[in-house]
Copies of this chain bind each other. A is one copy, B any other.
């Protein structure tokens, strides 16, 4: 280790050469914060991260990283002190803490009222249903009997969701009968809250990202198609191959949701495209996996757009740079050593855009993604899937 190692940066200077340029603090040190760092660099703003561990994905690459807990008000308060705006790489910060910080003068974007819609599915459904925005039929349920009553009206199977804590398919179950509902709900922690939804028949799962700034400017990205497996997003095709009027309806719905929940920053609205049109499935209030294609494939990527939105800067052009972009997640496989595979993939496909998150490989864990862009969708799908499969060891040639 060199003798002249740089002293740790401090809040008054690091990443903020020019005092007039603001600093954004992002709570959470995952890959979303990691991929926000380049956007902050280009904008010339300060960027700091609150990470749980110094080896977190973003902590590895952001000098102004503070190690602390997003569940500690003291840590949040200390972190916020060096920031002009507080924002998030995940939705797990207790909103009561955010309200306290706001009362103390911290600028929190998105705000707690909006964030609750991404934290709590009952709150989200209530808010959207009240505003008349298209959702699947749903009901809050207390016990398996409520689920049966809902199914008697809407038919089996139904989807039972925990109101909070769901992520990458966790907390969401397709339930075919009363006894399944009973088993599921009995396993839960006391006090867990639930909702039940009709199982929607859909032609496609799509996602629409909207950026919205404090004074209400909004910019919408092209509708993308997402392919899920085991509740985890596996690939994204931009744009979704939809009839123009359906795509426009999906974008309009996303813009209405953004306004209704009064989000500031990026909002991803995951939707089902049904015979009745698009209906809202889930919300995420941050850059999102279904927007990773924008790093390589759009004029303004979702990470820069999020920063611009939370800083109340004018929003950037959301246009795509190529007719098609395909993003495929790289999930950890059985091979812990990824570098040789990565070299092979680069040799195989010079147009491949590889993004690694600096995360230890564990089976099923998102450790990176690849993007390819061009004119021929089928070719792109083959190239993207080959690379992702090769990187995690599913494909060996």
Contacts and interface: CB of A to CB of B under 8 A. Distances in A.
A313 B78 contact: no
Interface string A219-232: 10000000000000
Interface stretch (A33-41, A116-124, A201-209, A245-253): A33-41
A6 B368 contact: no
B2 A54 contact: no
Contact of A351 (B35, B299, B357): B299
A3 B359 CA distance: 26
Interface in A15-32: 15-18, 20-22
B5 A338 contact: no
A77 B44 CA distance: 31
A242 interface: no
Nearest to A299: B351
A240 B3 CA distance: 47
A4 B44 contact: no
B299 A353 contact: yes
Contacts of A354: 42-44
Contacts of A299: 296, 351, 353, 373
Given A11-B1, A38-B37, A313-B343, A18 B358 contact: yes
Shortest beta-carbon contacts, A-B, top 9: A44-B356, A38-B38, A2-B78, A314-B347, A314-B346, A317-B351, A17-B358, A63-B63, A317-B350
A1 B5 contact: no
B44 A357 contact: yes
Nearest to A60: B15
Contacts of A356: 21, 42-44
A360 interface: yes
B66 A63 contact: no
A37 B41 CA distance: 9
A187 interface: no
Contacts of A7: 8, 54
Contacts of A346: 308, 313-314, 316
A5 B78 CA distance: 10
B2 A66 contact: yes
A55 B7 CA distance: 12
Nearest to A6: B65
A321 interface: yes
A328 to B, nearest CB: 15
A81 B358 contact: no
22 contacts: A1-B11, A2-B79, A2-B81, A3-B78, A4-B68, A13-B54, A14-B60, A17-B359, A37-B41, A38-B38, A38-B42, A42-B295, A42-B356, A43-B356, A44-B354, A44-B355, A44-B356, A44-B357, A63-B65, A299-B351, A313-B346, A314-B343
Given A2-B81, A300-B353, 14 more contacts: A4-B67, A5-B66, A6-B67, A14-B60, A15-B61, A18-B339, A34-B41, A35-B41, A38-B41, A42-B356, A296-B299, A316-B351, A317-B350, A321-B321
